Amino acid sequence: MPELPEVETVVRDLKKVVLRKTFLNVWTDFPGIVKKPDFNKFKKDIIGKKIKRVWRRGKNIIFDLSGEKYLLIHQKLTGHLLIGRWQWQAGKWVPLIRGPLEDNVNQFIHLMFWLSSGIMLGLSDLRKFAKVELLDKKTLEKELEKIGPEPLDKEFTFDKFLEVLKKKRGKIKQILMNQEIIAGIGNIYSDEILWRAKIHPFREVSTLNQTELKRIFITIKALLPKAVELGGESISDFRRPSGEKGYFDLERKVYQREKQECQRCREQIKRLKLAGRSTYYCPNCQRL
């Protein structure tokens, strides 16, 4: 699932292209991808709306539209937004220009928007788990109200980090991935953060001392901006709106590196299951 760096990358890329553009039409072959309202009303309501702002909250992409409407897109497991121009051929969307949009993972377009200036915005989603909603301000605020603080914000200080962890119980990896505690961190970056901070993912958060918590915090503040700079991680389905891969793979140290050597101590990377999710760690550098 795209995490904070991937979603932030999408938002920054979209801002360069779609601001002040107007929705002219929309198509889908899977109406269920639009959760609110039903697709027919969604289509009627979004046509003619101008994009005033694009921003991120947690893993959600939000478009502020004219008429006090808000388009919310959560890409979920395999979804990613694409910008380009396509034509319908033999039952699928074919990009008009050769290049990254031809990547196989970009071929599962189930929602397509036509924007002014000839731009098209597609949502490719192999598993069809993505969520698309058109909301009023009150409903949007209600959907976002339980999301924790943004780790990229200047207001997310070490004191704030300690505050959100106060009285929390559970394993540190689960805490980092809890969207109501901290926004945007998922399976990939929790593993990468904890490897760099030399903390075992199964450590109970209540057992971590101030020095260990400081290492985790510093790593969060350094790693996530670096991942955004590299355009996110494309080890699976994620692609940027251009159809191109992100390059965080250049920095990936532990996630999905089971049985490979730890790049710090040469011990073999191990994999465990935590709440049904694969967790990767170095048993030497990250001792329980």
Instruction: Write down the pLDDT at residue 1.
Output: 80
Name the one residue in this structure whose structure tokens are 């901070």: 197
Distance CA 190, CA 175 (A): 9
Task: Report which residue type is found at 207.
Answer: T
Distance CA 145, CA 90 (A): 44
Q: Which of 76, 270, 277, 283 is catalytic?
A: 277
Q: Is 2 a catalytic residue?
A: yes
Instruction: Write down the pLDDT at residue 185.
Output: 98
CB under 8 Å to 210, separation ≥6 — which residues?
Answer: none
Q: Which of 2, 5, 201, 241 is catalytic?
A: 2
Instruction: Write down the pLDDT at residue 51.
Output: 98
Q: Is 201 a catalytic residue?
A: no
Q: Is 225 a catalytic residue?
A: no
Neighbours of 113 (CB within 10 A): 21
pTM: 0.96
Instruction: Write down the pLDDT at residue 116.
Output: 97
Q: Which of 49, 59, 203, 245 is catalytic?
A: 59
Instruction: Write down the pLDDT at residue 55.
Output: 98
Displacement of CA 36 from its chain's centroid (Å): 21
Using N-to-C axis directions, what is the helix angle for 210-229 and 4-18, rounded to 10°? 30
| Helix segments in 19-70, DSSP class H | 39-46
Do 220 and 193 contact (CB within 8 A), yes or no?
Answer: yes
Report, as ranges of residue numbers, the positions in the chain whose pLDDT lies below 70.
none
Q: Which of 3, 8, 133, 150 is catalytic?
A: 3
Task: Report which residue type is found at 284.
Answer: N
Q: What structural domains and CATH numbers belong to the chain? A: 4-144 (3.20.190.10), 158-281 (1.10.8.50)
Q: Is 241 a catalytic residue?
A: no
